[in-house]
Amino acid sequence: MLIKAVRTFEKDQTKGDITKISNIAKERKMSNPRVVDGTIGALYNDDGHFFAFKSIDNVIDKLQDIDKYPYAPINGGAIYQTQVLQWVFGPFLARVVAEKHLAVCATPGGTGALSIALYHYLDINETLLIPDLNWPVYEHLAKEFGINVSTYHLFRDDCFNIEGFIEAADAIVKKEGKLVTIINNPNHNPTGFSMTYEDLYQLGDYFKRLEEENIPVVFIYDVAYIDYWDYQNGRKGLNIVCDYGKNVLTLVTFSASKSFGIYGMRLGALIAINQEEKVIEDFRTWSTVACRTRWGTPNRIALSIFNQIVTNKEDRDEFMSELKKAQELLFNRSDFFIRKVKEYNIPIYPYQGGFFAIIKVQDSLHLYEYLKDLDIFGVPFDSGFRLALSSMSIKDIDKTLIAIRQYFEIYRM
Amino acid sequence: MLIKAVRTFEKDQTKGDITKISNIAKERKMSNPRVVDGTIGALYNDDGHFFAFKSIDNVIDKLQDIDKYPYAPINGGAIYQTQVLQWVFGPFLARVVAEKHLAVCATPGGTGALSIALYHYLDINETLLIPDLNWPVYEHLAKEFGINVSTYHLFRDDCFNIEGFIEAADAIVKKEGKLVTIINNPNHNPTGFSMTYEDLYQLGDYFKRLEEENIPVVFIYDVAYIDYWDYQNGRKGLNIVCDYGKNVLTLVTFSASKSFGIYGMRLGALIAINQEEKVIEDFRTWSTVACRTRWGTPNRIALSIFNQIVTNKEDRDEFMSELKKAQELLFNRSDFFIRKVKEYNIPIYPYQGGFFAIIKVQDSLHLYEYLKDLDIFGVPFDSGFRLALSSMSIKDIDKTLIAIRQYFEIYRM
Burial class of residue B200 in the structure, from the number of CB atoms within 10 Å of its CB (0-12 exposed, 13-18 middle, 19+ buried):
buried
Residues 259-288 of B with CB under 8 A from A: 261-266, 274, 276, 279, 282-283, 285-286
- Other beta carbons within 10 Å of A186: 25
pLDDT of residue B118: 97
Euclidean distance between CA atoms A374 and A282, whole angstroms: 54
Euclidean distance between CA atoms A113 and A109, whole angstroms: 7
Q: Which of A11, A263, A289 sits opposite B71 (nearest CB)?
A: A263
Using alpha carbons, select from A66, A74, A70, A56 the residue that is nearest to residue A263. A56
- Residue B126 to residues A8, A61, B119, B121, B179, Cα–Cα distance (Å): 17, 48, 11, 9, 9
Is the per-residue pLDDT at A12 higher than 60?
no
- Which candidate in B40, B279, B294 is best for mutational testing of the A interface (most A CBs within 10 A)? B294
Residues 84-113 of A with CB under 8 A from B: 108-109, 111-112
Euclidean distance between CA atoms B37 and B396, whole angstroms: 8
Going by their DSSP bridges, the two strands A217-222 and A248-255 should be labelled as parallel
- Predicted confidence (pLDDT) per residue in A335-390, tens digit: 999 999 999 999 999 999 999 999 999 899 999 999 999 999 999 998 899 999 99
Is the per-residue pLDDT at A102 higher than 90?
yes
Euclidean distance between CA atoms B263 and B51, whole angstroms: 11
Residues 3-22 of A with CB under 8 A from B: 3-9, 11, 19
- Which candidate in A20, A66, A266, A303 is best for mutational testing of the B interface (most B CBs within 10 A)? A266
- The full DSSP string for A235-294 is HHHHHHHTTS-TTEEEEEEEEHHHHHS-GGG--EEEEEEES-HHHHHHHHHHHHHHHHTT
Q: Map residue A321 onto helix, strand or coil.
A: helix
Q: Which of B124, B249, B300 sits opposite A264 (nearest CB)?
A: B300
> Residue A299: its chain B contacts at CB < 8 A?
108, 264-266, 299, 302
- Does the beta-carbon distance from A216 to B3 stay under 8 Å? yes
- Does the beta-carbon distance from A261 to B69 stay under 8 Å? yes
Q: B348 to chain A, minimum CA–CA distance in Å?
A: 28
Q: Provide the CA B185 distance to its chain's centre, in angstroms.
A: 8
Going by their DSSP bridges, the two strands A101-107 and B159-160 should be labelled as unpaired
pLDDT of residue A3: 80
B120 close to A (CB below 8 A): yes
How does DSSP classify residue A383? T
The nearest alpha carbon in chain A to B49 belongs to A66
> Residue B299: its chain A contacts at CB < 8 A?
108, 264-266, 299, 302
Using alpha carbons, select from B83, B53, B79, B55 the residue that is nearest to residue B67. B79
Q: A390 to chain B, minimum CA–CA distance in Å?
A: 13
- Other beta carbons within 10 Å of B237: 23
Q: A157 to chain B, minimum CA–CA distance in Å?
A: 33
> Residue A214: its chain B contacts at CB < 8 A?
1
Euclidean distance between CA atoms A369 and A385, whole angstroms: 11
Euclidean distance between CA atoms B290 and A8, whole angstroms: 10
Tell me how many degrees the CA angle B68-B73-B79 measures, rounded to the nearest 5: 85
Q: A351 to chain B, minimum CA–CA distance in Å?
A: 25
- Does the beta-carbon distance from B1 to A247 stay under 8 Å? yes
For chain A, give the percent of residues with pLDDT over 90.
Answer: 91
Tens-binned pLDDT, residue by residue, of chain B (413 aa):
668 777 766 655 445 578 889 889 999 999 999 999 999 999 999 999 999 999 999 999 999 999 999 999 999 999 999 999 999 999 999 999 999 999 999 999 999 999 999 999 999 999 999 999 999 999 999 999 999 999 999 999 999 999 999 999 999 999 999 999 999 999 999 999 999 999 999 999 999 999 999 999 999 999 999 999 888 888 999 999 999 999 999 999 999 999 999 999 999 999 999 999 999 999 999 999 999 999 999 999 999 999 999 999 999 999 999 999 999 999 999 999 999 999 999 999 999 999 999 999 989 999 999 999 999 999 999 889 999 999 999 999 999 999 999 999 999 75
Which one-letter amino acid corresponds to residue B109?
A: G
Q: Which H or E run includes A380?
A: strand A379-381
Q: Which of B211, B264, B298 sits opposite A68 (nearest CB)?
A: B264
- Does the beta-carbon distance from A69 to B263 stay under 8 Å? yes
Set out the domains of chain A in order of their start, with CATH numbers: 18-52+326-411 (3.90.1150.10), 73-298 (3.40.640.10)
> Residue B274: its chain A contacts at CB < 8 A?
3
> Residue B121: its chain A contacts at CB < 8 A?
5-6
pLDDT (average), residues A111-130: 97
- Residue B307 to residues B2, B256, B303, B311, B413, Cα–Cα distance (Å): 49, 12, 6, 6, 55
Find all residues with CB under 8 Å of A278, minimum gap 6, and list them.
none
The nearest alpha carbon in chain B to A295 belongs to B112
- Does the beta-carbon distance from B109 to A141 stay under 8 Å? no
> Residue A247: its chain B contacts at CB < 8 A?
1, 3
Q: B209 to chain A, minimum CA–CA distance in Å?
A: 14
pLDDT of residue A8: 65
- Does the beta-carbon distance from B50 to A69 stay under 8 Å? yes
The nearest alpha carbon in chain A to B109 belongs to A295
A75 close to B (CB below 8 A): no
pLDDT of residue B94: 95
A65 close to B (CB below 8 A): yes
Is A210 within 8 Å of A173 (Cβ atoms)? yes
Is B38 within 8 Å of B45 (Cβ atoms)? no
Is the per-residue pLDDT at A1 higher than 70?
no
Going by their DSSP bridges, the two strands B127-131 and B179-184 should be labelled as parallel
Q: B207 to chain A, minimum CA–CA distance in Å?
A: 13
- The full DSSP string for A20-61 is HHHHHHHHHHHH-TT-EE----S-B-TTS-B---HHHHHHHH
3-class SS string, chain B? CCCCCCCCCCCCCCCCCHHHHHHHHHHHHHHCCCCEECCCCCCECCCCCECCCHHHHHHHHHCCHHHHCCCCCCCCCHHHHHHHHHHHHHHHHHHHHHHCEEEEEEECHHHHHHHHHHHHHCCCCCEEEEECCCCHHHHHHHHHCCCEEEEECCEECCEECHHHHHHHHHHHHHHHCCEEEEEECCCCCCCCCCCCHHHHHHHHHHHHHHHHCCCCEEEEEECCCHHHCCHHHHHHHHHHHCCCCCCEEEEEEEEHHHHHCCHHHCCEEEEEEECCHHHHHHHHHHHHHHHHCCCCCCCHHHHHHHHHHHHCHHHHHHHHHHHHHHHHHHHHHHHHHHHHHHHHCCCECCCCCCCEEEEECCCHHHHHHHHHHCCEECEEECCEEEEEHHHCCHHHHHHHHHHHHHHHHHHCC
Buried b (16+ CB within 10 A) or exposed e, B324-340: eebbebbeebbebbeeb
- Does the beta-carbon distance from A4 to B214 stay under 8 Å? no
Q: pLDDT band for position A4 (50/70/90)?
A: confident
Is the per-residue pLDDT at A402 higher than 60?
yes
> Residue A76: its chain B contacts at CB < 8 A?
none
Buried b (16+ CB within 10 A) or exposed e, A62-95: ebebebbbbbbbbbbbebbbbbbbebbbbebbee
Q: Which of B49, B249, B257 sits opposite A3 (nearest CB)?
A: B249
Strand segments, DSSP code E, in A118-197 are 127-131, 148-152, 155-156, 159-160, 179-184
- Residue B274 to residues A179, B83, B209, B241, Cα–Cα distance (Å): 43, 19, 17, 11
- Does the beta-carbon distance from A141 to B290 stay under 8 Å? no
Q: pLDDT band for position A13 (50/70/90)?
A: very low
Residues 284-313 of A with CB under 8 A from B: 285-286, 289-290, 292-302
Is A371 within 8 Å of A363 (Cβ atoms)? no
pLDDT of residue B278: 94
Q: B388 to chain A, minimum CA–CA distance in Å?
A: 15
pLDDT of residue A14: 46
Q: Which residues pair with B101 in a beta bridge?
A: B274
Euclidean distance between CA atoms B214 and A123, whole angstroms: 33
More confident residue, A8 or A44: A44
Q: Which residues pair with A272 in a beta bridge?
A: A103, A251
